[in-house]
Homo-oligomer: A and B are copies of this chain.
Amino acid sequence: MSLFKAAALAVTIGSLALGGTAIAQEKSYVIGVSVPTADHGWTGGVNFFAQQAVDRLSKAYPNLSFVLTSAPDSTKQAADLEDMVTTRNIDGLVILPGDPDAMTSSIKKVKDAGKWVTVVDRALSQPGIEDLYVAGDNPGLGTTTANYFKEALPDGGNIVILRGAPIPIDAQRVDAFMAGIEGTDIKVLDSQFANWNRDDGYKIMQDFLTKYDKIDAVWAQDDDTLVGVLKALKEAGRDKEMWSVGGAGMNQIIKMVEAGDPAVPVDVSYNPNMVATAIDLTALHFVAGAQVDGRFIINSTLITKDNAAEFDYENTPF
């Protein structure tokens, strides 16, 4: 029996119970959406795009409703999940786990309760729990960035790298970047962990500027880090000496790219609206009975002056 037949049957039973007076209506579904609290720019975007998807889908499909929660830590996020299953009676869950290792067992409980599970961005520590995985392309972010560096520095040059945090996502990006520039005359002077953080980006770039007289370009990997880098460059009066590339698609950076600012010639996407796509695909499972269990990896696209408009979302907080 398909979802559609199940719906038809439910209506039939309902009609009988009401003495045949009920009019036919579609079965309703509740989708839980759990995301981290907006503790930095990117998660601010996640919250914004999740809310936008919930609003749009509620309007497009009146038989769908949503429970959207955000959590500052794993304790709260686990409690949200338990509440969704036990009292909100969700049919499916879309989750961007703040700490995927800590959340794995809570998410497994949702799956074991027979609910659909979509995981966004951060892979769980145990494979095979989720029905659908939606994420950005981390190795692709490194490769796309390396390709730009090679093109922009055809004769080589000195660069510095501000890494993220010492977790697999960072390693995937950096390994792909290093493989991409292999065999060129691009020389990595230094590389430090800036934790995808603005203040760390500022301090580390100050340090790099003290240590190195000639830097041609900076790979900051992340737009939050990049904002710190740009501040350090400006304060040191060296902002005309080099260009910098971040990553993610923060609106402030997109606008610089769009304006043709030579300090930030391009950006590379790691789009927080992947959460909206995950919500949409999950909705599709319920409203259309579509088979959407699988793995959707969204490109890390080079954002230039030419296509920046596509990434300049109105009213975004990120």
Cα–Cα distance between A86 and B253 once the two chains are bound (Å): 36
> In the complex the two chains form, what is the Cα distance from A309 to B9 in whole Å?
13
List A residues 40-88 near B (Cβ within 8 Å). 52-53, 56, 60-61
Determine whether A138 belongs to the interface, using a CB cutoff of 8 Å to chain B: no
Are B312 and A290 in contact (CB-based, < 8 A)?
Answer: no
A3 to B309, CA, bound (A): 8
Which B residues are CB-close (under 8 A) to A60? 60-61
* Stretch from A101-109, A161-169, A177-185, A297-305 contacting the other chain: A297-305
Given A1-B312, A309-B1: A274 and B298 interface contact (C-beta under 8 Å): no
Does residue A4 face the partner (Cβ distance < 8 Å to B)? yes
A295–B294 alpha-carbon span in the complex (Å): 11
Instruction: Answer whether A273 and B290 are a contact pair too, CB < 8 Å, given A2-B309, A2-B313, A5-B314.
Output: yes
> Would you give the shortest CB distance from A66 to chain B, in whole angstroms?
15
CA distance A56 to B310 in the complex (A): 26
CA distance A273 to B52 in the complex (A): 26
Please tell me if the beta carbons of A291 and B309 are within 8 angstroms of each other in the complex.
Answer: no
Q: Is A29 at the interface (CB under 8 A from chain B)?
A: no
Q: Are B56 and A309 in contact (CB under 8 A)?
A: no
Which positions in A face B, CB cutoff 8 Å? Answer: 1-6, 52-53, 56, 60-61, 137, 269, 271, 273-274, 276-277, 280-281, 284, 287-299, 301, 309-314
Docked-complex contact B293 and A52, CB < 8 angstroms:
no
Looking at the assembled complex, report how far the CB atom of A296 sits from the nearest CB atom of chain B, in whole angstroms: 4
A64 to chain B, nearest CB (A): 11
CA of A288 to CA of B50, assembled, Å: 12
* Contact present for B294 and A297 (CB under 8 Å): yes
Complex formed: what's the CA distance from A137 to B292 in Å? 12
**Residues from chain B with Cβ under 8 Å of A312 in the complex:** 1-2, 5
A137 to B297, CA, bound (A): 14
Q: Is the CB of B293 within 8 A of A299?
A: yes
Q: Inside 8 A of A290's CB, which chain B residues have their CB?
A: 273, 276-277, 280
Asked, given contacts A1-B312, A310-B3, whether A276 binds B296 with beta carbons under 8 Å apart, the answer is no
Once bound together, how far apart are the Cα atoms of A280 and B277, in whole Å? Answer: 10
Of chain B, the residue at the smallest CB distance from A135 is: B294
The 5 A-B pairs with the shortest beta carbon distances in the complex, nearest first, are: A60-B60, A294-B298, A296-B296, A271-B291, A1-B309
Q: How far is the CA of A138 from the CA of B131 in the complex (A)?
A: 18
CB distance from A223 to the nearest CB of B (A): 15
The listed residue (B292, B299, B314) touching A277 by CB distance below 8 A is B292
The contact of A296 among B271, B295, B311, by CB within 8 Å, is: B295
Name the B residues within 8 Å of A269 (CB-CB). 291
A186: shortest Cβ distance to chain B, in Å? 24
For A292, the chain B residues whose CB sits under 8 A away are 277, 298
